[in-house]
């Protein structure tokens, strides 16, 4: 007799099985991956024990690239091919990038989203982000010793629009990740703080990262996270503080920079000085430029004064969100600080002054978003226990609507509407006998089409000829839990219908995505070979150090011939490790293991003899 196997929706039928799901914070400056292990969400480290991955990609000759710390170390030497803060360019056209003249890149304007010229050709921000996401995916697979990841929750700034969210999702697809959900960074931070278990009420999440600023108000009640209002600035972050400091020091010194190397070197030096001023009251910005060295003392008071307008921009966004939500600042029970840039003392003091209470800073602001994403990923994978389930109710950051006659915008879904959401509105024809209607989908708060962002265009054809105003066209908007939009139009009398899933046209059509995936698969062997080589080199270094330590401790157990033989094997291993053949390194490792087997046995015998000396058999 067959048995019916029953499981909760979204959970695995096998109560002992567990799906591996990860949370990723794809940050402007740093990125992290986290997962729930042994009931605790934690950030996953690389093979050097570092949880942070700098969001930096450097393109080299021969289709090679460096990602993370290696690329970050060379950004001043090769600025045109080292892409930093790529998150600021996601889903953006060239006109959307403020301060682009101070950046060392060669931008190419394309429909919808810019590209960056590198020695490997044009690179879309989606492609660059995919490199970072793939590196985090490999890290997660190494951590679990398993290639079968169920999926990932990826965080995005609350103020990311539809184009930026879709670009993030495409980057994840290119990286070989199944996106379980996109969630807003402030919401993930609130989850990580455990506010669902410990607190109820109204909380603000102040998120100042490397390239974006978000402020969100959340109401927490029995595991339900409801975003009341959100706001911010997708082009304001720690990078702007670095740029302000670099410009001020150059002005004080009467210097200017022209080359890409000098621009990047000044920004790197400014960031280091900014970080030093977090704990110290004085620092020196020192940088080597083409025109000579520059070294300028900077006090924290100087830095606070010149960056005060940037801090005020964040406070203005906070006040606006409070007004939108019709909430007084004294109603907010706590302020959660997120993002590495919130470590600046002036930022913490400004937030405390606005809300009249010190902000919550008890978690690492760099890790908190990734940890929250991991908690949500674990729940979506069906691993959460009954008491661990969360309900996340995010909102859309910008209003969605249609173009009407005269170049005006008719808003259908207002900003700060909880998602997922579906809304419909009726429209009619403008002319007698009109049989088609062009539908232009827009996003923004302005009244004129020219001032809003175009998301999509499609046509509804086959409308029966009628006098103007007689037809009834119902246009329906649907926004899913990821904040992505689909729109349909239907003439109610005849039933003719047209629809579009709004996928922003930013120079990456479906064919382009398919091509990039194909290219990624084609280079998979090369990527795996490079990965195997690095792993073999790490193992060679580890075994070489262990063998030398053993020789130093118990080398007298060997005669001169045996010792020379092991030294020769160590030299052969070191020589192989300096090459590019991982098979040769593995062979040298195997030879060293075999050649030291007798030595290892002698060391074991000595240890046992030492442990048993002077003891009776009855005692043992």
Among residues 185, 302, 366, 394, which one is catalytic?
A: 185
C-alpha distances (whole Å) from 458 to each of 64, 80, 444 are: 41, 39, 19
* 185 included as an active-site residue: yes
C-alpha distances (whole Å) from 79 to each of 53, 102, 117, 222 are: 19, 12, 12, 49
Token pair, residue 605, equals 């015998």
Rounded Cα distance between 265 and 255, Å, is 14
Rounded Cα distance between 371 and 43, Å, is 7
Token pair, residue 362, equals 């008890």
Classify residue 469 as exposed, middle or buried by CB count within 10 Å of its CB (0-12, 13-18, 19+).
Answer: exposed
Alpha helices in 298-455 (DSSP H): 300-325, 345-355, 368-380
Residue 256 sits at φ, ψ, to 5 deg, of -145, 160
> Nearest 10 degrees: CA dihedral of 191, 194, 200, 203?
-60
Rounded Cα distance between 528 and 141, Å, is 13
Kindly tell me the number of DSSP H helices and DSSP E strands found in the chain. Answer: 15, 27
Rounded Cα distance between 588 and 574, Å, is 9
Buried b (16+ CB within 10 A) or exposed e, 31-41: bbbbbbeeeeb
Among residues 87, 169, 263, 503, which one is catalytic?
A: 87
Classify residue 414 as exposed, middle or buried by CB count within 10 Å of its CB (0-12, 13-18, 19+).
Answer: middle
Question: Can you tell me which residue has the tokens 């080597």?
Answer: 288
* 169 included as an active-site residue: no
Q: What is the DSSP letter of 325?
A: H
CA 406 to chain centre: 40
CB 164 within 8 A of CB 234: yes
DSSP 221-234: ETTEEEEEEEEEET
Rounded Cα distance between 559 and 549, Å, is 17
Question: Can you tell me which residue has the tokens 């030294």?
Answer: 567
Nearest to 381 by CA among 4, 38, 8: 8
Token pair, residue 449, equals 């089409």
Token pair, residue 315, equals 């406070």
Among residues 78, 127, 131, 207, which one is catalytic?
A: 207
Token pair, residue 79, equals 């600025």
* 512 included as an active-site residue: no
Alpha helices in 466-559 (DSSP H): 510-522, 524-554
Rounded Cα distance between 335 and 351, Å, is 8
* 279 included as an active-site residue: no
- 561: three-class secondary structure by DSSP: helix
- 42: three-class secondary structure by DSSP: strand
DSSP 418-469: BSSEEEEEEE--SSTT--EEEEEEEESS-SBGGGSEEEEEEEEE-PPP--TT
Active site residues per annotation: 25, 87, 185, 207
């Amino acid at each position: 007799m067959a048995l019916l196997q029953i499981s909760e929706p979204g959970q695995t039928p096998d109560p002992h099985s567990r799906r591996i799901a990860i949370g990723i914070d794809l940050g402007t400056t740093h990125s992290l991956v986290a997962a729930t292990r042994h009931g605790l969400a934690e950030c996953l480290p690389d093979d050097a024990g570092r949880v942070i991955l700098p969001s930096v990609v450097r393109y080299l000759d021969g289709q090679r690239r460096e990602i993370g710390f290696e690329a970050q170390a060379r950004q001043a030497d090769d600025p045109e091919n080292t892409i930093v803060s790529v998150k600021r360019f996601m889903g953006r056209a060239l006109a959307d990038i403020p301060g682009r003249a101070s950046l060392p890149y060669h931008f190419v304007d394309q429909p919808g989203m810019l590209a960056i010229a590198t020695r490997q050709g044009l690179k879309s921000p989606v492609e660059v982000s995919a490199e970072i996401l793939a590196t985090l995916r490999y890290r997660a697979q190494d951590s679990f010793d398993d290639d079968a990841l169920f999926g990932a929750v990826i965080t995005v700034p609350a103020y990311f629009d539809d184009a930026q969210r879709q670009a993030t999702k495409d980057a994840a697809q290119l990286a070989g990740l199944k996106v379980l959900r996109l969630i807003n960074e402030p919401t993930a931070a609130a989850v990580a703080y455990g506010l669902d278990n410990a607190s109820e009420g109204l909380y603000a999440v102040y998120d100042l990262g490397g390239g974006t600023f978000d402020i969100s108000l959340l109401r927490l009640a029995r595991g339900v996270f409801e975003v009341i209002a959100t706001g911010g600035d997708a082009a304001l972050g720690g990078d702007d503080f670095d740029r302000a400091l670099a410009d001020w020091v150059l002005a004080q010194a009467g210097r200017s920079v022209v080359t890409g190397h000098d621009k990047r070197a000044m920004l790197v030096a400014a960031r280091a000085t900014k970080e030093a001023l977090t704990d110290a009251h004085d620092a020196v910005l020192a940088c080597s430029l083409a025109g000579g060295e520059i070294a300028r003392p900077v006090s924290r008071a100087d830095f606070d004064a010149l960056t005060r307008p940037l801090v005020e921009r964040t406070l203005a966004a906070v006040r606006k969100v409070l007004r939108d939500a019709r909430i007084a600042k004294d109603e907010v029970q706590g302020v959660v600080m997120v993002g590495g840039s919130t470590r600046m003392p002036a930022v913490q003091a400004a937030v405390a002054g606005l809300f009249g209470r010190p902000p919550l800073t008890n978690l690492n602001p760099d890790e908190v978003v990734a940890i929250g994403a991991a908690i949500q990923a674990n729940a979506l994978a069906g691993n959460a226990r009954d008491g661990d389930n969360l309900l996340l109710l995010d909102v859309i950051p910008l209003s969605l609507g249609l173009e009407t006659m005269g170049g005006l915008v008719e808003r259908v879904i207002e900003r700060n509407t909880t998602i997922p959401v579906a809304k419909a509105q009726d429209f009619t024809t403008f002319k007698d006998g009109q049989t088609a209607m062009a539908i232009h989908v827009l996003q923004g708060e302005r009244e004129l089409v020219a001032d809003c962002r175009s998301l999509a265009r499609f046509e509804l054809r086959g409308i029966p000829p009628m006098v103007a105003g007689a037809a009834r066209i119902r246009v329906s908007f649907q926004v899913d839990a990821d904040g992505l939009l689909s729109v349909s139009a239907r003439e109610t009398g005849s039933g003719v219908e047209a629809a579009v899933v709004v996928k922003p046209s930013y120079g990456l059509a479906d064919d382009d995505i398919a091509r990039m995936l194909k290219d990624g698969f084609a280079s998979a062997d090369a990527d795996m070979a490079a990965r195997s080589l690095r792993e073999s080199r790490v193992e060679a270094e580890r075994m070489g150090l262990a063998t030398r330590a053993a020789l130093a401790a118990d080398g007298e157990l060997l005669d001169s011939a045996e010792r020379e033989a092991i030294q020769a094997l160590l030299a052969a291993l070191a020589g192989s490790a300096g090459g590019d053949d991982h098979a040769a390194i593995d062979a040298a490792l195997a030879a060293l293991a075999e050649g030291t087997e007798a030595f290892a046995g002698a060391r074991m015998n000595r240890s046992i003899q030492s442990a048993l000396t002077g003891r009776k058999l009855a005692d043992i």
